[in-house]
A and B are shown apart, each in its own frame.
Chain A
Amino acid sequence: MTEIWDGLTKAIELLISLDPEVMEIAGRSLRISGAACLLASLICLPLGSLIHFHHFRGKRVLINIIQTLFSVPTVLVGLFVLVLFSRAGPLGELGILFTPPVMVVGQMILITPLLLGLTISALSGVSKEIMETATSLGASGFQTVLLILREARYAVLAAVIMGFGRAISEIGCALMVGGNIRGVTRVITTAIALETSKGELALAIALGIILLFLALIINIVLNRLQQR
Chain B
Amino acid sequence: MSLIEVTGLNHRYGERAILENINLSVDRGEVLALIGPTGAGKTTLLRIIDLLEVPSAGEIYFDGKCIPRSGKQRLEIRRRMSFIHQKPQVFNLSVYDNVACGLGWRGEEKNRIAGKVDHILETVGLEDYKDRNARTLSGGEAQRVALARSLVLEPEVLLLDEPTANLDPVSTAKIEQLISYVARQRNTTMVMATHNMSQGQHLADRIGVLLDGRLVQTGNATDIFHSPQNEEVAYFVGMENIMEGVIIANNEGIATVNIGGNVIQAVSSYPVGKKVYACIRPEDITLALSSTQSSARNSFQAEVTRVATLGSLSRVEINCGFRLIALVTKISAEELNLQAGREVYATFKATGVHIMERRAG
Are A and B a genuine interacting pair, yes or no?
A: yes
- Expressed in whole angstroms, the Cα–Cα distance for A134 and B83 within the complex equals 10
A138 touching B52 by the CB < 8 A rule?
A: no
Q: For A136, give its contact among B50, B92, B93 (CB under 8 Å).
A: B50
Are A138 and B78 CB-contacts (below 8 A) given A132-B52, A147-B101? yes
A137 touching B102 by the CB < 8 A rule?
A: yes
- Expressed in whole angstroms, the Cα–Cα distance for A135 and B52 within the complex equals 8
Please indicate the chain A residues that have their CB under 8 angstroms from the CB of B87 in the complex.
129
Number of CB contacts from chain A to chain B under 8 A: 52
B79 touching A127 by the CB < 8 A rule?
A: no
**Is B82 interfacial (CB 8 A cutoff)?**
yes
B105 touching A151 by the CB < 8 A rule?
A: no
Shortest CB–CB separation between residue B50 and chain A, in angstroms? 5
Please indicate the chain B residues that have their CB under 8 angstroms from the CB of A136 in the complex.
50, 52, 78, 81-83, 85
Proximity string of chain B (54-92) to chain A, C-beta cutoff 8 Å, 1 when within and 0 when not: 000000000000000000000100110111010101011
B82 touching A151 by the CB < 8 A rule?
A: no
Are A129 and B85 CB-contacts (below 8 A) given A136-B52, A136-B78, A138-B79? yes
Please indicate the chain B residues that have their CB under 8 angstroms from the CB of A143 in the complex.
105
**Is B153 interfacial (CB 8 A cutoff)?**
yes
- Expressed in whole angstroms, the Cα–Cα distance for A39 and B92 within the complex equals 27
A137 touching B89 by the CB < 8 A rule?
A: no
Are A137 and B150 CB-contacts (below 8 A) given A129-B87, A132-B52? yes
- Expressed in whole angstroms, the Cα–Cα distance for A127 and B88 within the complex equals 12
Please indicate the chain A residues that have their CB under 8 angstroms from the CB of B85 in the complex.
129, 132-133, 136
Shortest CB–CB separation between residue B106 and chain A, in angstroms? 6
**Is B149 interfacial (CB 8 A cutoff)?**
yes
Shortest CB–CB separation between residue A143 and chain B, in angstroms? 5
For residue A138, which residue of chain B has the nearest CB?
Answer: B79
B105 touching A140 by the CB < 8 A rule?
A: yes
- Expressed in whole angstroms, the Cα–Cα distance for A197 and B83 within the complex equals 67
- Expressed in whole angstroms, the Cα–Cα distance for A94 and B102 within the complex equals 48
Q: For B102, give its contact among A138, A150, A151 (CB under 8 Å).
A: A138
Q: Report A96-145 residues with CB < 8 Å from chain B CB.
A: 127, 129-130, 132-140, 143
- Expressed in whole angstroms, the Cα–Cα distance for A139 and B91 within the complex equals 13
- Expressed in whole angstroms, the Cα–Cα distance for A143 and B353 within the complex equals 56
B89 touching A130 by the CB < 8 A rule?
A: yes
Interface centre among B82, B85, B91, B102 (most CB of A within 10 A): B91
Please indicate the chain B residues that have their CB under 8 angstroms from the CB of A134 in the complex.
91, 101
A139 touching B105 by the CB < 8 A rule?
A: yes
Interface centre among B52, B79, B83, B101 (most CB of A within 10 A): B101
- Expressed in whole angstroms, the Cα–Cα distance for A129 and B83 within the complex equals 12
Shortest CB–CB separation between residue A152 and chain B, in angstroms? 9
A138 touching B93 by the CB < 8 A rule?
A: no
- Can you pick out 26 interface pairs between chain A and chain B where the beta carbons lie within 8 Å of each other? A127-B89, A129-B85, A132-B52, A132-B89, A133-B85, A133-B89, A133-B91, A134-B101, A136-B78, A136-B85, A137-B82, A137-B102, A137-B105, A137-B150, A138-B75, A138-B79, A138-B82, A138-B102, A138-B105, A138-B153, A139-B105, A147-B91, A147-B101, A150-B92, A150-B93, A151-B91
Chain B residues near A (Cβ < 8 Å)? 50, 52, 75, 78-79, 81-83, 85, 87, 89, 91-93, 101-102, 105-106, 149-150, 153
Other A-B pairs, 12, CB within 8 Å; known A136-B85, A138-B105: A133-B89, A133-B91, A137-B101, A137-B102, A137-B105, A137-B153, A138-B78, A138-B153, A139-B105, A147-B91, A147-B101, A150-B92
The 6 closest A-B pairs by CB, nearest first: A136-B83, A138-B79, A137-B102, A133-B89, A129-B89, A139-B105
Chain A residues near B (Cβ < 8 Å)? 127, 129-130, 132-140, 143, 147, 150-151
